[in-house]
A and B are shown apart, each in its own frame.
Chain A
Amino acid sequence: MSATRYLRLIPRLDIKGPNLVKGIRLEGLRVLGNPNEYAKHYYESGADEIFYMDIVASLYNRNSLTEIVSNVSKDVFIPITVGGGLRTVDDISKVLSSGADKVSLNTAAVNDPDLINRAAKKFGSSTIVLSVEVIKESDGKYYCFTDNGREATGLEAYSWIKKAVDLGAGEVAVTSVDREGTGEGFDIDLIGNIASSVNVPVIAHGGAGSLSHVIELAKSTDVSGICVASIFHYQAINEIYNNDQNVIKSFNTTNIKRDSLHNSKIKPVSFKEAVAELKKIGIVSRSL
């Protein structure tokens, strides 16, 4: 038995309409380009899975990811998890039929916890990922939010997660809304506690500012996967669009490079390089 630590490195793609976007604390979105080009780039660089989150689906009461997913599954042969605005077993079925492998539920699960049970029975537990968006309140406890961090539920994180796992959720993806996009690092206590309190895989999301944060999380917790956006996207954008600032600027009125430098806590890294660095210290994802 080797001492290798198997850890899934999962690029997180926030989608708004046809665009890949990125915000800070799930707000203040900037457009980064075509999501499927990023997905392909990450696939070719060794990503274990891809996580697509439609961040306005719940707000506008629709789910429009099926087209994106069926396009990407033509060239990207790694698992795809899709979330955002999935409300019914039928919604889930449509997304799975278009090429997704797993679905993530947040709002719909909070409103109807039994949906988790029904979906798990129909599609298999391992297909159903519970997504939680967590904010630490003044009482020191972590509470869950829905609608992309906008709506309070009053649900205390640890107990809701346990309940959802009992109902059949096969994985839990935890987003620290406080840390997301800030580059300040993961909330190690939060993730560590959740990972040790449930028996299903836990995926962490929110806060990576550099590869060292990823390594720190991997070494200090039992987490099974790490979902990362900023540090990869802000490097990938240059690789995908060949450093063409005119093309990159055309996505948005703001200059991406300047903005990512504004948040100097974000240290972009190439996905390929990240995989190689992790491998050196015994943390592995898939082999290319």
Chain B
Amino acid sequence: MKNIVIIDYGLGNIFSIKQSLATLGVNPIVTNDTKTVLAADAIILPGVGAFPDAMNRLNELGLVQVLRDCAKAGKPMLGICLGMQLLFNKSFEYGEHEGLSLLDGEIVKFPTHHGDVKLKVPFVGWNNLSYQEHRNDNVNSIYLVHSFYAKPVDAKITVATCNYNGMVYPAIVQKQNIVGIQGHPEKSATHGINFFKQWISKI
């Protein structure tokens, strides 16, 4: 049984992630203890809230370097929503702030319009996932809540995109052991549970 850790830094719907994983018979450890994190087989970085606050908390808990070390050591890591955004170099939410830099790129705000079409921001709701590589078992629907999105330097790390009134942006990214999902699998009904199932099967 793999030892999965959910990082508890005070932000993110940890309760729902746990419930979702429980349906798969998985019981992760919820912790912010550096030793426990370093000993984990796989790490989930949740996140709901604002980027600067999240990074401050991770810094205060001494987890920034720990997460970087875990990533370097090849531990599977999954960033969810804000957690995915934290994986990148920097974000422009409430100023300019440095992230974990496990993935190259920046986090920027949705514009108010895409062409003539108004974009309500934050995007709140369900959307379909379009994959670069078709597979029969691809999860095709996800619930998202966000005002910011990722602009990766290397387009190849984008596994799937969402289309918001013509604005196409990364919904799932992956670089080796690092995976990020902009939406919330823990809130995406059976689609989300399947996403977790697939991620866990690859640990």
User: Chain A interface (Cβ within 8 Å of chain B)?
Assistant: 1, 6, 8, 43, 48, 70, 73-74, 77-79, 96-99, 101-102, 121-127, 170-171, 199-202, 222, 224-225, 285-288
- Contacting residues of chain B (1-43) with chain A, CB-CB under 8 angstroms: 11, 13-16, 19-20, 22
Chain B residues lying within 8 Å of A202, measured Cβ to Cβ, are 120
State the 3 A-B residue pairs at the shortest beta-carbon distance, nearest first: A126-B122, A124-B49, A286-B126
Determine if B122 and A201 form an interchain contact, defined as CB atoms under 8 angstroms apart. yes
Judged by DSSP, the binding face of A is loop
Determine if A97 and B49 form an interchain contact, defined as CB atoms under 8 angstroms apart. no
How would residues 123 to 139 of chain B score, 1 for a CB under 8 Å from any chain A CB and 0 otherwise? 01111100000000000
Determine if B165 and A125 form an interchain contact, defined as CB atoms under 8 angstroms apart. no
Chain B residues lying within 8 Å of A288, measured Cβ to Cβ, are 189
Distance in angstroms between the alpha carbons of A13 and B115 in the assembled complex:
38
Chain A residues lying within 8 Å of B53, measured Cβ to Cβ, are 121-122
Distance in angstroms between the alpha carbons of A96 and B11 in the assembled complex:
10
Task: Please count the residue pairs between chain A and chain B whose beta carbons lie under 8 angstroms apart in the complex.
Answer: 111
Question: Is B82 at the interface (CB under 8 A from chain A)?
Answer: yes
Determine if A101 and B15 form an interchain contact, defined as CB atoms under 8 angstroms apart. no
Question: Is B146 at the interface (CB under 8 A from chain A)?
Answer: yes
Determine if A126 and B19 form an interchain contact, defined as CB atoms under 8 angstroms apart. no
Chain B residues lying within 8 Å of A287, measured Cβ to Cβ, are 126, 128, 140-141
Determine if B126 and A98 form an interchain contact, defined as CB atoms under 8 angstroms apart. no
Chain A residues lying within 8 Å of B15, measured Cβ to Cβ, are 70, 73, 97-99
Partner of A74, one of B19, B118, B127, B145: B19
Distance in angstroms between the alpha carbons of A124 and B82 in the assembled complex:
10
Question: Is B143 at the interface (CB under 8 A from chain A)?
Answer: yes
Question: Is B121 at the interface (CB under 8 A from chain A)?
Answer: yes
How far apart are A104's CB and chain B's nearest CB, in angstroms? Answer: 13
Q: Give the contact-size bracket for chain B.
A: 35 or more
How far apart are A271's CB and chain B's nearest CB, in angstroms? Answer: 14
Distance in angstroms between the alpha carbons of A224 and B127 in the assembled complex:
13
Given the known interface contacts A99-B19, A122-B49, the answer about A170 and B124 at a Cβ–Cβ threshold of 8 Å is: yes
Partner of B127, one of A6, A171, A225: A6
A-B contact list, 18 entries, CB within 8 Å: A1-B163, A1-B165, A6-B127, A8-B126, A48-B143, A70-B15, A74-B22, A77-B188, A78-B143, A79-B187, A99-B16, A101-B16, A102-B145, A121-B94, A126-B124, A126-B145, A199-B120, A285-B126
Chain B residues lying within 8 Å of A286, measured Cβ to Cβ, are 126, 141, 143, 189
Question: Is B200 at the interface (CB under 8 A from chain A)?
Answer: no
Distance in angstroms between the alpha carbons of A98 and B146 in the assembled complex:
21
Chain A residues lying within 8 Å of B48, measured Cβ to Cβ, are 96, 101, 123-124, 126-127
Chain B residues lying within 8 Å of A99, measured Cβ to Cβ, are 13, 15-16, 19
Determine if A126 and B187 form an interchain contact, defined as CB atoms under 8 angstroms apart. no
Given the known interface contacts A73-B15, A101-B16, A287-B141, the answer about A125 and B126 at a Cβ–Cβ threshold of 8 Å is: no
Determine if A127 and B19 form an interchain contact, defined as CB atoms under 8 angstroms apart. no
Determine if B118 and A199 form an interchain contact, defined as CB atoms under 8 angstroms apart. yes
Determine if B143 and A222 form an interchain contact, defined as CB atoms under 8 angstroms apart. no
Determine if B112 and A124 form an interchain contact, defined as CB atoms under 8 angstroms apart. no
Determine if B13 and A101 form an interchain contact, defined as CB atoms under 8 angstroms apart. yes
Partner of A225, one of B82, B125, B140, B143: B125
How would residues 158 to 171 of chain B score, 1 for a CB under 8 Å from any chain A CB and 0 otherwise? 00000101100000
Q: Quick one: closest A residue to B22, CB to CB?
A: A74
Q: Quick one: closest A residue to B119, CB to CB?
A: A199
Chain B residues lying within 8 Å of A79, measured Cβ to Cβ, are 143, 145, 184, 187
Chain A residues lying within 8 Å of B22, measured Cβ to Cβ, are 74
Distance in angstroms between the alpha carbons of A99 and B140 in the assembled complex:
24
How would residues 75 to 111 of chain B score, 1 for a CB under 8 Å from any chain A CB and 0 otherwise? 0000000100000000000100000000000000000
Q: Quick one: closest B residue to A123, CB to CB?
A: B49
Given the known interface contacts A1-B163, A8-B126, A121-B53, the answer about A73 and B143 at a Cβ–Cβ threshold of 8 Å is: no
Distance in angstroms between the alpha carbons of A126 and B187 in the assembled complex:
15
